[in-house]
Amino acid sequence: MTDATTQHGTDKVKRGLAEMLKGGVIMDVVSVEQAKIAEDAGACAVMSLERVPADIRAHGGVARMADPGKVEAIVNAVSIPVMAKSRIGHFVEARVLESLGVDYIDESEVLSPVDVYHIDKRAFTVPFVCGAKDLGEALRRIGEGAAMIRTKGEPGTGNVIEAVKHMRKVTAQIKWLTTLGPDEIMNAARDLQAPYDLVKEVAASGKLPVVNFAAGGIATPSDAALMMQLGCDGVFVGSGIFKSGDAAERANAIVQATTFHNDAAMIAKVSKNLGEAMVGINIDTLPESELMQHRGS
Partner 1 sequence: MTVAIGVLALQGDFREHLLMLESVGAHGVEVRTPQDLDAVEGLIIPGGESTTIGRLATMFGLIEPIRQRCSKGMPVFGTCAGMIFLATSTVGKEQPQLGVLDACVERNAFGRQVDSFEADLDVVGLQEPMHAVFIRAPWIEKIGADVEVLASVTDANGLHHPVLVRQGRILASSFHPELTDDARLHKMFIDLVEGA
Question: Which one of 16, 206, 245, 275 is in contact with partner 1 (CB under 8 A)?
Answer: 16
From residue 22, alpha-carbon distances to 102, 214, 258, 267 in Å are 19, 11, 10, 19
- Enclosing H/E stretch for 202: helix 196-205
Judged by CB under 8 A, the stretch of 106-114, 174-182, 255-263, 272-280 that binds partner 1 is 255-263
Segment 79-98, which members bind partner 1 (CB under 8 A)? Answer: 79-81, 98
Sign of the CA dihedral 233, 93, 136, 52?
positive
19 vs 191, which CB is nearer to partner 1?
19
85 is catalytic: yes
Question: Which one of 92, 101, 120, 268 is in contact with partner 1 (CB under 8 A)?
Answer: 101
**Least distance in angstroms from the C-beta of 95 to partner 1:** 12
Segment 187-246, which members bind partner 1 (CB under 8 A)? Answer: none
CA nearest 108: which of 48, 162, 161? 48
CA nearest 290: which of 39, 122, 110? 110
Residue 259 makes contact with partner 1 by CB under 8 A? yes
Query: What is the DSSP pairing of strand 45-48 with strand 82-87?
Result: parallel
CA nearest 275: which of 246, 233, 236? 246
In contact, 177 and 199? CB cutoff 8 Å:
yes
**Least distance in angstroms from the C-beta of 165 to partner 1:** 25
Cβ-defined contacts of 60-63 (< 8 Å, 24+): 62/112, 63/87, 63/110, 63/111, 63/112
73 vs 291, which CB is nearer to partner 1?
73
User: E-strand spans in 89-189?
Assistant: 104-108, 128-132, 148-151
Alpha carbon distance 256, 254 (integer Å): 5
Judged by CB under 8 A, the stretch of 148-156, 243-251, 253-261, 275-283 that binds partner 1 is 253-261
Residue 265 makes contact with partner 1 by CB under 8 A? no
Residue 146 makes contact with partner 1 by CB under 8 A? no
26 vs 199, which CB is nearer to partner 1?
26
24 vs 156, which CB is nearer to partner 1?
24
**Least distance in angstroms from the C-beta of 297 to partner 1:** 27
Alpha helices in 89-150 (DSSP H): 91-99, 135-144
In contact, 30 and 50? CB cutoff 8 Å:
yes
76 vs 193, which CB is nearer to partner 1?
76
Site string for partner 1, 18-57 (x = CB under 8 A): -xxxxxx--------------x--xxxx------------
Q: How many residues bind partner 1 (CB under 8 A)?
A: 40
* Catalytic positions, written as ranges: 85
* Binding footprint of partner 1 on the chain (CB under 8 A): 1-3, 5-10, 12-13, 16-17, 19-24, 39, 42-45, 75, 79-81, 98, 101-104, 125-127, 255-256, 259-260
